[in-house]
Amino acid sequence: MMINNIEKLREEIESTDSILIGAGAGLSAAAGFDYSGERFRKYFGDFIEKYGFTDMYTGGFHEFDSPEEHWAYWSRYVWINRYMDTDNGVYRKLYELVRDKNYFVITTNVDHCFQKAGFDKNRLFYTQGDYGLFQCSEPCHKKTYDNEDTIRKMFNEQRDMRIPSELIPRCPVCSKPMCMNLRSDDKFVEDEGWHEGLRRYNEYVSAHTLKKMLLLELGVGMNTPGIIKYPFWRMADEFPNTRYACVNIDFPYVPGEIREQTTLVSGDIRQVLDELIRN
Ligand SMILES: [Zn+2]
């Protein structure tokens, strides 16, 4: 299949040293993180049968009767999306493409794929949290905690859709239940690492107000356009040497004011990266 504007995108990438990547759910979907298909049926068959969930997200919003059942669900969710090796190569190819450039990544994805593919964690800003972190549900303090050991045990030791009660995670400070460090309401903990990411992102942007930079937007939908899409449009409009490229499976839209500095690529990100890496 021919992908429109692929050569133009290739030129834009080759002709700049600085690339600011803005990545949304579409990038992880292209990497094989399917939240509704076969993976969902394989790991959540019992929950689908009991509750009729149609995809992993829906189940994630369900209020289960007990914390044992809640964590049986969530430990599977986190294990397969954060700790299992799912990436079909999309993130690694993206890394190949930008590794020798002065890159920075801002993403709403919480699956840790950038770091797993080799991206420097000092060049990443995860705005919405990380499946790999717990926080206090209150929250009584602004720290996050690595959850790999606990999640692994919950995943392995659950029976009949319940984890053993002693595995229910509790805040080490106030003993209230822990929850996922994911932005869903105003209780989301922005910890030190989060603020460090924000600071580095702002620093990168300020350093490029006049310098040549490519804004590379990948798979960003319209759920939270205020985090990546609108700021990218604004920068493309206001910074004189900034170019903007948007790759999306749906036909991407861009305001008339920045059309001249924009490359729109409509297609599957996996195919687009394959094309770009080839040559
Ligand atoms: Zn607490």
What's residue 279's pLDDT? Answer: 62
Angle at 47 between CA 46 and CA 49, to 5 degrees: 65
Ligand 1 mean position, distance from CA 243 (Å):
45
Ligand 1 centroid from CA 141, angstroms: 6
* 152 CA distance to ligand 1 middle (Å): 22
The pLDDT score that the predictor gives to residue 206 is 98
CA of 189 to the centre of ligand 1 (A): 11
| SS3 state at 220 | coil
- Annotated domain spans of the chain: 1-33+87-128+188-279
Burial of 94 (0-12, 13-18, 19+ CB in 10 A): buried
Distance (Å) from CA 170 to ligand 1 centroid: 8
Model confidence pLDDT, tens digit, residues 63-87? 999 999 999 999 999 999 999 988 8
Confidence at residue 240, expressed as pLDDT on a 0 to 100 scale:
96
- Is the distance from CB of 224 to CB of 183 less than 8 angstroms? no
Q: Which residues of the chain fall short of a pLDDT of 70?
A: 1-2, 279
> Considering the domain 1-33+87-128+188-279, what is its CATH architecture?
3-Layer(aba) Sandwich (3.40)
**According to the model, what pLDDT value does residue 1 have?**
54
Distance between Cα 229 and ligand 1 center (Å): 34
Q: Please answer whether residues 139 and 189 qualify as being in contact, where contact means their C-beta atoms are separated by less than 8 angstroms.
A: yes
What's this model's pTM, rounded to 2 decimal places? Answer: 0.95
